[in-house]
Structure 1
Amino acid sequence: MYQFPKDFLWGAATSAPQSEGAALLDGKSPSTWDKWFEMEPELFYDGVGPKDTSNTYYCYKEDVANMKAMHLNSFRTSIAWTRLLPDGKTLNRKAVRFYRNYFTELIENGIEPIVNLFHFDMPWWLMEKGGWEARESVEHFAYYARVAFEQFGDLVKKWATFNEPLVHIECGYFGNAHWPKVRDFKRALQVGYHTLLAHAKAVAEYRKSIHGDGKIAIILNLSPVYAKSEAKADQEAAQWADLLYIRSFLDVAVYGRFPKELVTLLKEADLLPVTAQNDKEIFANNTVDFLGCNYYQPLRVQAPKNAHYPISEPRDLFNGYDWPQKRINPHRGWEIYPTGLYDIAMRLKNSYQNIPWFVSENGMGVSDEERFTNSEGVIEDTYRIAFIKEHLIALQRAINDGSPCFGYHLWTFADCWSWLNAYKNRYGYYRVELDDHFKRTPKSSSFWMADVILNNGFNHE
C-alpha cells in the first residue's frame, strides 16, 4: 500500500478572487481583475468575469459540508485584500465577519484552514499608484498582513504571504495574461524585488503579532528545470533558467538572500532593481517556517539561438524546449510528468535544509467535462484520478526517501474561475453549474479521494 504519514494534510486549494464572487458587494473594492473585465470583457473566455465566480461567499457552508463528506482535513484559500481593507486603511467589518465565519466553519468540521494573503488580486487603488512597481506597495502590504493576523490569527495557524509570485511578475510585466500586460524586463525585476520585500515584511509582522504562534510560508511554483541534453550550452541554459525562475525566490525565502550569481548577472546588464539601505537585513531576518509547492509541469530548456551578453531579457540565456517524448494534457497544453514532484522534494532536502513543505497545488484542467457524465449524472473524471495517483506515488517515494512533505492539496475543490480562461478548464473534485444557481455535484475523483483519505493511502494495482 502507498501509505502516508500520520496527520498528513489531505486537502484542496483555491483563492478568494477565483471562488468567492460577490466581487463588488458588502464593501469590497475592485481589484485589477474587476477593472480589467470592465474595460476589456472580450478578452475573458465566454465573457465570464470575476463578478460571481463560484459564489463561495454565499455557498461556503455547503462547500465545507462537501469537504467533510470527502474527509478533507485541510483547505487552502486566500483573503481578498480588497474585501478586508477596501481603501487600504479602513477595516471592513462585513469582511471580518465573513472570513471568521468561513474559517470557523472549516475548523468546526475538522478542516484546518491554510490562508494565503495575495493571489494575484492587486487592489485597483494601489494599481493606480504603480502597483508592485511602487515602493509604497511594500508598506501597504505589510499593513494589510498585520491586520489579517490580528483579525484571524487566533483561528489560522498556517499562513502564506504570496501565491506563485513569479506568475504575476512574468504574466503582468513580461506578458499579457495579467494586468498591466506590459513587456519590460527591468520593470518586471523591480516588481519582483518589491514583491519579495513585501513578503519579508509580512513575515516580520507575523513574528511580532499577538497571534504569531503558528507558522508562515510562501507558496512557489517550483518547476524542476531540465536541459535538452548533456551538452555544455544546454546545461548552462538550464542553470540560468533555474537561477531566474526558481532560486531567485527560493534562496530569499529559505536563506534570506539573493543568489550572488543573479546579482552579478543583473549588475552587468544594468538591470538591478532600486533598493534601500536596510533591505538586506529585512530579507535576512525573515525567512519562512515551511514552503508551499505548486507543481503542474516541468520547465524544459535549451541553449538560446541568439545568446547575448550583457542580457536584456531571459531569452538571451535560454530558450524553451519541446521534449518529443512528453505526455501532455491537451486541454491545458501542459506536460504531465509526476517524477518532477520527486525531484523537487529531493532538491529541497539536499539544497534547502530539508525544509518542511506541502503540495499546495497540483491538478489537471479539462474542458467540456460534461462529456464524461454517466447515467447517474456523475462526471467520470478517471483521467484526474490517474493524474492524482501518479503524483501521489512520486510524492510517497520522496517521503520514504526522507522528504518532510506534510500534505497534498489538489487544485481545486469546487470548479473555480481561472482568470482570462474563466471556466474553460475545470479542475475540481466538485462541478459547479454556473447556469443552475452554482449547484455543486461530486465527480468520480471525489469518491476515489475520499477513500484515499480514509485509508491515508491507497493500494498498489
Structure 2
Amino acid sequence: MKYVFPENFWWGSASSAPQTEGETLSFGKSATIWDQWYKEQPTRFHNGVGPAETSTFYKNWKQDIALLKELNHNTFRTSISWARLIPEGRGAVNQEAVTFYNQVIDELVAQGIKPFINLFHFDMPMVMQQQGGWENRDVVTAYAEFANVCFELFGDRVKHWFTFNEPVVPVEGGYLYDFHYPNVVDFKRAATVAYHTMIAHSLAVKAYHQRNDGGEIGIILNLTPSYPRSQNPADVKAANIADLMFNRSFLDPALRGEYPQELVALLKEHGQLPECQAGDKELLAAGVVDLLGINYYQPRRIKCRDSLVNPDSPFMPEWFFEAYEMPGRKMNPYRGWEIYEQGIYDILTNLRENYGNPNCYISENGMGVENEQRFDENGQIQDDYRIDFVRDHLKWLHKGISEGSNCLGYHMWTFIDNWSWCNAYKNRYGFVSLNLETQQRTIKKSGEWYKATSAENGFNDRT
C-alpha cells in the first residue's frame, strides 16, 4: 500500500538552542539554569557531560543546514536562546546573537526550508531564575518583551512562531519531581509556574496578533493520552484526573482560552490554586493559538490508587492515580518508554472531536537508542528500528488525516544526535550521527529513508 500525504505537507525535524548550539557562555550569552545546575551538581548529569558540550550548531550551522537540505526538509524547528539574545533577561540586545540568528534564518530560507522558531525550550536565563523564574510576574513580563524583540528582529522572515515547547516539563521537573533545576517539590508553586507560563504565552500571542505580520503563532505541547487500566469507574476517573493535570492544563487554555472547570474545582478543593490577577481571564482568552505543535512519544497508562495517601506527604498528582504497566506492551528498552503508535491517531481524533479540529502538526516524535555504534556497518548506522518506528507512527498519522484531522506535517526529534538535559548523549535520536570526538556528521540509514519519504511525500508499505 502507498501512503501519500497532503500536498505541501511539512517534512522536517526539531531541535533546540540549548541542546545544539554549544558556546553556552560565549559570544555574549549569559548562563541559563542548566549552566548553573551543572556548576552546582555535575554528578546529576550523565557521565558528567554538561550543557557546554552540545552538537556545535553555533559553529557548524551552515554545514548542518546543508544536511537538512540534503534530507529534503522543507521545514525545521529550532529555538532562540533568551539568554543569548538578551543576556540580562531584559534590556540590551546582544548583537552577536542577532547576527547568528539572522544567518541561520537567512540560510534556511535560502535553502527553501521554512524556519519554525520556538521562544522557550526549558532554558530560563539564570538572571531571571534568580528573580523567581516563572513564579514571578515580572519575569512573565520580561518574557513578553523578549518575544516582542524576536518578532521585531526576525518576523519579516519567520512566519511560524511558538511560545513554548512542552511547558509542562519545567513544571514537572523543576517543581514536582526533582529532575530539573530548581529542584523544588511543591505543588502550589508548580501550579503557579504552570499558570504564569500560560499568562506569558498569552501575552506573546496577543502581541504577535497585534503586529499583523502575516504569520502564525502557536505552542508545542507534549500530549500523552491517558488510558485507564479498565472501564471500572475508579480507573476511568483516575485517568481523567491524569489527563486534566498533564494534558488539559495546557491544552484547554491554548485552544479554548480557559481552564477546565473540573481542574479548577479539584485544585480549589485542595487549596492548590495559583493567584489570579484582574484581566487574566481576558488575557487567557486572547492566547488561543493559530497552530498547535504536538510532541508524542509514549502513552500514559493509569489505574486508580490501591493504597491510601500518606496525609503528611507533599500534595502530588499521584494522590489521585498510579501508573499502570500494561502486560505485553511494546517497549523501547533503552529509553524505558512504551511504543504505542496508535496514540498519535488518538490525539488527532480527540482534537478533531473535542477541540474544533485545530490546525496542528506533529512537532516531535522519536526513538532514543543507547550505544548506536553497535549498528555501524561500513561507516553508516543501520537503524532499521528507527525507520520502523517512524513508518508505523506515520501510518496512524495518515489514518487520522484521512478521517479529516487538520494535521499539516511531521517533524522527527531530531535532526542530529544532540545533548539531552541530564542524559547527555546516552540515547541517540538523530537522522544524522554525530562523532563527539571529531564532530563529523554522517547520515544514518533512517536519514536516507526519511529523505526519500519526504521527496515522494509518502512511502510504500513493505508489508
- TM-score interval (norm. to shorter): over 0.9
**Can you list the C-alpha shifts for 1:171-223, whole angstroms capped at 9, x where unaligned?**
110012100112111110011011111011111111123x6320000000111
- Residue aligned with 1:208, SS: helix
Aligned with 2:381: secondary structure?
coil
Structure 1 residue 308, shift from structure 2 partner: 6.1
The residue number in structure 2 matching 1:50 is: 51
% identity of equivalent residues: 49
Q: 1:253 to 1:201 in 2, by over 3 A?
A: same
SS class of match (1:343): helix
Q: Distance in 2 between matches of 1:227 and 1:102?
A: 44
Q: Aligned residue for 2:328?
A: 325
Aligned letter for 1:208?
Answer: Q
Is residue 281 of structure 2 the alignment partner of residue 280 of structure 1? yes
Q: Could you tell me how far apart the structure 2 residues matched to 1:43 and 1:245 are?
A: 25
- Equivalent residue, structure 1, for 2:269: 268
Offset from partner CA, 1:323-370 (integer Å, 9 cap, x none): 112100000000000000000000110111100100000000001000
Q: Does 1:362 align with 2:365?
A: yes
Contact 2:176 2:316 in 1 (8 A): no
Whether 1:384 and 2:386 are equivalent positions in the alignment is: yes
The equivalent of 1:164 in structure 2 is 166
TM-aligned CA deviation for residue 137 of structure 1: 1.4
Whether contact under 8 Å (1:257, 1:283) holds in the other structure is yes
Task: List per-residue Cα deviations over 1:132-182 (Å, max 9, x = no partner).
Answer: 111211101100100010011011000000000111100110012100112
Q: Which amino acid aligns with 1:352?
A: Y
Matches of 1:301 and 1:148 in 2, distance apart? Answer: 40
> Secondary structure in 2 aligned to 1:244?
helix
Give runs of aligned pairs for residues 5-44 of structure 1, distance below 5 A.
5-44=6-45
1: CA distance, partners of 2:261 / 2:188: 18
Any conservation in 2 of the 1:339–1:394 contact (CA below 8 Å)?
yes
Tell whether the 8 Å contact from 1:307 to 1:317 is kept in structure 2 after alignment: no
- How far the C-alpha of 1:309 sits from its partner, in A, is 12
Q: Does 1:395 align with 2:397?
A: yes
**Contact residue 13 and residue 361 of structure 1 kept, 8 A:** yes
- The residue number in structure 1 matching 2:341 is 338
Q: How many pairs were matched up?
A: 458
The separation in 2 between residues aligned to 1:165 and 1:178, in whole angstroms, is: 13
CA distance in 1, matches of 2:127, 2:158: 28
Match of residue 131 from structure 1: 133
> Residue type matched to 2:361 in 1?
F
The Cα shift of 1:275 comes to 1.2
Alignment-derived partner of residue 123 in structure 2: 121
User: What is the distance in 2 between the residues matched to 1:408 and 1:234?
Assistant: 32
Q: Deviations over 1:420-443 (max 9, x none)?
A: 00000000000111111x111111
* 1:424 and 2:426 matched: yes
Q: CA deviation at 1:52?
A: 3.2
Equivalent residue, structure 2, for 1:232: 233
CA drift of 1:274 comes to 1.1
Q: CA–CA distance in 2 between the matches of 1:255 and 1:306? A: 36
Q: Which residue of 2 aligns with 1:152?
A: 154
1:173 corresponds in structure 2 to 175
Q: Quick one: which of 84, 88, 93 aligns to 1:91?
A: 93
Check conservation: 2:380, 2:443, Cα contact below 8 A: yes
Partner of 1:258: 259
Paired residue for 2:317, among 307, 314, 324?
314
What amino acid maps onto 2:235 in structure 1?
D
Q: For 1:325, what is the secondary structure of its paired residue?
A: coil
Aligned ranges 1:65-76 → 2 under 5 Å:
65-76=66-77
Residue among 207, 231, 245 paired with 1:205: 207
- Report if the CA contact (8 A) 2:302-2:324 is conserved: yes
1:87 deviation in Å?
0.3
Distance 1:270 1:355 in 2: 33
Query: What TM-score, normalized by structure 2, do the two folds share?
Result: 0.97
Distance 1:73 1:334 in 2: 29
Q: Conserved in 2, the CA contact under 8 Å of 1:137 and 1:194? A: no
1:221-272: CA deviation from partner (whole Å, max 9, x where unpaired): 1111100001110011011111111111111001100111111111111111
1:356-386 CA distance string (max 9 Å, x none): 1000000000010001000x20000011000
* Partner Cα separation in structure 2 for residue 317 and residue 63 of structure 1: 46
Distance, in Å, in 1 between the alignment partners of 2:309 and 2:182 is 27
Is this contact kept in 2: 1:223–1:295, CA < 8 A? yes
In 2, Cα distance between the equivalents of 1:444 and 1:182?
42
What residue ranges of structure 2 are gaps of 5+ in the alignment? Answer: none
Give the corresponding residue for 2:63.
62
User: Letter of the aligned partner of 2:327 in structure 1?
Assistant: P
| Alpha-carbon separation, structure 1, partners of 2:245 and 2:40 | 33
SS at match of 2:119: strand
Alignment deviations for residues 298-329 of structure 1 (CA, whole Å, 9 cap, x no partner) = 01100012466999321121111111121000
Q: Distance in 2 between matches of 1:212 and 1:43?
A: 43
How far the C-alpha of 1:460 sits from its partner, in A, is 2.2
How high is the TM-score relative to the length of structure 1?
A: 0.98
Q: Could you tell me whether the CA contact under 8 Å between 2:253 and 2:287 is conserved in 1?
A: no
